[in-house]
Structure 1
Amino acid sequence: MLVWLLGMAMPSWAELPDSDIKRLQQDLTPLGAERAGNGSTIPAWTGGLPQDQGPWETGFHPDPYAGEKPLLRIDAGNLGAYQDQLTEGQRQLLQRYPDMYLNVYPSHRSASYPDSVYDAIQSNAATAQLLPYGSGVTGAVMSSPFPIPANGLEVLWNHTLRFRGQTVSYEAVSSLITTNGQRMDTLREYNYYFKYSEADIKSSELENKIFLLTRKTLAPAHQAGSLTLVHETLDQMRARRKSWVYTPGARRLRRTPDLAYDTPDPNSQSLRTIDQVDMFNGAPDYYDWDLQGKQEIYIPYNAYRVHQGDLALDDILAKHHLNPALLRYELHRVWVIEANLRVGFSHRYSKRRYYLDEDSWSIVYAEEYDQHGALIQMTEGHLINYYDMPLMMTTLEVTYDFPSGRYYTEGLDNERPRSFRFFDTGLNESDFSTNAIRRQARR
């Protein structure tokens, strides 16, 4: 049941009045969430987890809530009692697999960010504007542009431009689990440079870039050495994202013009589309975006138990779904937006629904519907606070494909020497040029 509705489908370009901006230091958090709790199961936000950089060196964060026990367990037998706090995708997953369940723990509003992010969001609130047709954003830097959103597009851009550090480097496995439980694993190295989050950068200096990405395949052996380079643009109507692929067999870097929208994602064996990466990415112009309001639901949160280096992938990946004993769910408020395919446009999904954590603007649930209106996929983003930064980001994402019974998960860094690196990456913007990638491929 939606708590309140704001059904504005069209974008608004009006700047916020000072009285609204002041709320970010009063009844709202610096990111625009409600500071107050719900009086019982959701606590007030009091600043989130403090920054703590160690002494660990692996990047796998100790669980600050390790001693807690589940308050309740939701499964196919009792989900009717909790259906108002579950999404349609959650209900379908529980009904489909009787051995799947949600362990619900006490809720902790652990989201926190550096003061520079809070300052930037306050400035964004006074100057950020949607570009025509919602194709991009102007007048914003560092993090989410619209802490008090007026429509669905503003909520979506808050996710797309949320703060994820300035540079990030890590290795992780992505795995497709087939209908009979067979695994297809791929190990890759990821490097990001977030141009949008550069210190002291001005909106006019962004050069229409959000981030730069390199992704190198390390295993299996027959794919090792292939490289992908992506330049993600801020206004994708003015200039689409640029992407290049290097394959060892061809020994050349070639431009890929179709890495967008519902192009099949080859990393998932085409189980999902390119615009499902990071829950949703890219230009929003194929859909009409409706802000449906806020809701209290059980979401994957503070997922530190599954974010540990000593876990084997066999411990995490069960036959039909992730191992529920390692997962943690909490009751939180989320923003709900719905995307409906515009007349005259073609896409694999006719409707999509997204649920965003109010304390981080991270999409935690994405649900995709086919041309007949049937729910066919659900993606979960299991959030933690990387409190060495600090920031909120998923430690893994999992997409369940209901018609085929397959599922796909990425972000599995558990068997690697270390997790995400934010501070000692040594990455510069120049490392993401085509010439730099050619030099790296030749080594």
Structure 2
Amino acid sequence: MRMQLVTGVAMMVLSVSGNVAAAVNAPEAQKLNSELTPVGAEKQANASGSIPEWTGGLTQPPSGWEPGQIEVNPFPDDEPLFFITGDNLDLYRDKLTDGHIQMLERYGPDFFMPVFQTRRTAAFPEHVYDKYKQNAVSAELLDNGNGVRNTIMTSPFPIPKSGLEVIWNHILRYRGEEISFRSASATPLVSGSFNQVVNEYDYFFAYSRLGADLDDIDNKIFYLKTNTVAPSRLAGTITLVHETLDQIRSPRLAWRYDAGSRRLRRSPNLAYETNLPNASSLRSVDQKDMYNGAPNQYNWKLKGKREIFVPYNAYKLHDAEVRPDDVIRPRHINQDLTRYELHRVWVVEATLRTGISHIYARRVFYVDEDSWQILTSEEYDAEGNLWRVSEAHNISYYSEPVFWTTMEMTYDLKSERYYIDGLNDGFPAYDFNPGFRGNQFTASAARRAARR
């Protein structure tokens, strides 16, 4: 794969196996107060100035926005600097992922990339920045990298030395303490016709709660309950997930309530390559949130850092007036609503371990240096062919300072279809303070809720 390393960034490129001591020493951690941002990104602008200096991110909402409203675009006057198309992609090839190159070549001229001014908006609460500094000198990978110890609240390794540390930074990144929202997903046909599935999502992030420690959270990262609202044939279906920090010692717990049978059953296979429910076999369970779950099926390699064009500040897609019909198009979404910017990303390659079965033999992840959010990824089949390309379109939220997805999609290059989640059909704004309690996410609580 074409790879242009950003000079001046020292790192250890390795595959992780066996015992790994990952904490950095105190003098190295002090970089988080100087040349690095509190989350470990390079603070300074790049050589050309096309990636600006990080000055704190987007910490204040734009005027006119009020709590309870859907986020509005803080940069309404921004216009594209240029458009990358199948005809001119050679001019930008060194700053494109292989996945985007194939999308441009295959789906042009309808698929294009509008490139905007780079705005480093990612910001988090001050107490989260404090935890980054603590985690940097205390966090360690467990044996074979299957878990992390001596870490809490947010990403463990702001100064990573391996691909496995970077992927754990994504898995454990701060997304608030709790959140409730409604969104729709769809799997459009090649013609562009679609039916949507509407779900309510309730997250309780035990790992990220202020004042929590590892003893308090009982090896849990978060609790998730989804309730299907539409269509009517699926309405009432409930999925409950307890996501664990060390999934080898204590695997993910999952239950599913089917309204037809009126029974809550354990779902032990809701992990890894299992088809994501209601995704028409276009996405695996471990692609939710771009990557989730135990990383034990792959060897992880840190390939370096690159400056590439990635989806960012997707306020047009997040707009309260934008509906599924505005977004969905044949073979890919409406690119007029997208925004790409030049950012520095960590590049991590995952190759399937010998003797392990998974539909993806190799995966490449592009991870934002400012937030540890995976922005785009590539999924390869057993023959080494690029099979799927995934994107996460993100924004900085206002009611809770957090940089997170508003919409995700996986493009299947073989079927020329795609899966999309995060569609807004007149739903209210995300609620980052719904007032959940942990005991609302037990199996018995889910069973009671299903029967009401």
The equivalent residue for 1:43 is: 52
Structure 2 match to 1:2: 5
User: How do 1:19-38 residues align onto structure 2 when only pairs under 5 Å count?
Assistant: 19-38=27-46
How does 1:74-223 map onto structure 2 within 5 Å? 74-98=84-108, 99-223=110-234
Indicate which of 65, 68, 73 corresponds to 1:63: 73
CA distance in 1: counterparts of 2:280 and 2:23, whole angstroms: 43
CA contact (8 A) 1:171 1:416 kept: no
For the 8 Å contact 2:360–2:380, the answer to whether it is kept is yes
Q: Give how far 1:55 is off.
A: 4.6
Report 1:338-417 matches (<5 A): 338-412=349-423, 414-417=424-427
AA in 2 matched with 1:223? L
Q: Which amino acid aligns with 2:272?
A: Y
Residue 247 of structure 2 corresponds to residue 248 of structure 1 = no
Question: 2:343 aligned to 329, 332, 335, which one?
Answer: 332
Aligned partners of 1:51 and 1:388 also within 8 Å: no
Q: CA deviation at 1:362?
A: 0.2
Q: Residue 245 of structure 1 aligns to a residue in which SS?
A: strand
Alignment correspondent of 1:261? 272
Distance 1:323 1:22 in 2: 44
SS in 1 for 2:242: strand
Q: Which amino acid aligns with 2:58?
A: L
Aligned-partner SS, 1:305: helix
- CA contact 2:52–2:118 (8 Å) conserved in 1: yes
Moved more, 195-204 or 359-368: 195-204
Q: Take 2:176 and 2:69, find their aligned partners in 1: how far apart are those partners?
A: 15
Tell me if the contact between 2:13 and 2:161 (Cα under 8 Å) persists in the aligned partners: no
What runs of 5+ residues in structure 1 fail to find an aligned partner?
Answer: none
* 1:437 aligned partner: 446
Tell me, in whole angstroms, the C-alpha distance in 1 between the residues paired with 2:396 and 2:41.
Answer: 16
The 3 A distance-change label for structure 1 pair 395 and 170 is same
| Alpha-carbon shift at residue 180 of structure 1 (Å) | 2.4
* Separation in 1, partners of 2:409, 2:264: 30
Partners of 1:260 and 1:55 lie apart in 2 by: 39
Q: Is the 8 A contact 2:157 2:165 kept in 1?
A: yes
- For residues 60 and 155 of structure 2, the distance between their equivalents in structure 1, rounded to whole angstroms, comes to 20
1:308-319 matches, within 5 Å, as 308-319=319-330
Q: What does residue 21 of structure 2 align with?
A: 13
Identical-pair percentage = 46
Cα distance, 1:202 vs. partner? Answer: 1.2
What does the per-residue CA deviation read over 1:176-233, in whole Å, with 9 as the maximum and x for residues that have no partner? 0112222131001000000001111112322110000000000000110010000000
Aligned partners of 1:2, 1:15: CA distance in 2, in Å? 24
Task: Please identify, of 427-436 and 285-294, the stretch whose mean Cα deviation from structure 2 is larger.
Answer: 427-436
Normalized against structure 2, the TM-score is what? 0.95
The corresponding residue for 1:426 is 435
SS at 2:46 equivalent: coil
Query: What is the alpha-carbon distance in structure 2 between the residues aligned to residue 335 and residue 24 of structure 1?
Result: 17
So what's the TM-score if we normalise by structure 1?
A: 0.97
User: For 1:134 and 1:93, how far apart are their aligned partners in 2?
Assistant: 33
Return the offset for 1:58.
Answer: 4.3
The secondary structure found in structure 1 opposite 2:187 is strand
Equivalent pairs, count: 441
- What is the distance in 1 between the residues matched to 2:409 and 2:23? 37
Paired position in structure 1 for 2:240: 229
**Counterparts of 2:440 and 2:16 in 1: how far apart (Å)?**
39
Distance (Å, rounded) in 1 between the aligned partners of 2:245 and 2:129: 21
Kept in 1, the 8 Å contact 2:321–2:426? The answer is no
Contact 2:23 / 2:157 at 8 angstroms: preserved in 1? Answer: no
Q: Deviations over 1:76-102 (max 9, x none)?
A: 010011011100100111111121111
Structure 2 counterpart of 1:322, from 295, 317, 333: 333
TM alignment of 1:266-305, pairs within 5 A: 266-305=277-316
Counterparts of 2:300 and 2:176 in 1: how far apart (Å)?
27
Confirm or deny: 8 A CA contact 1:7 1:292 kept in the other structure: yes
Q: Pick closer, same or farther for the CA change 1:33–1:283 going to 2, 3 Å.
A: same
Please, which runs of 5 or more residues in structure 2 have no aligned partner? none
Quick one: distance in 1 between partners of 2:446 and 2:312?
36
Q: CA–CA distance in 2 between the matches of 1:394 and 1:340?
A: 25
Contact 2:152 2:212 in 1 (8 A): yes
**SS at the partner of 2:59?**
coil
- Partners of 1:286 and 1:68 in 2: CA distance: 43
The answer as to whether partners of 2:23 and 2:139 remain within 8 angstroms in 1 is yes
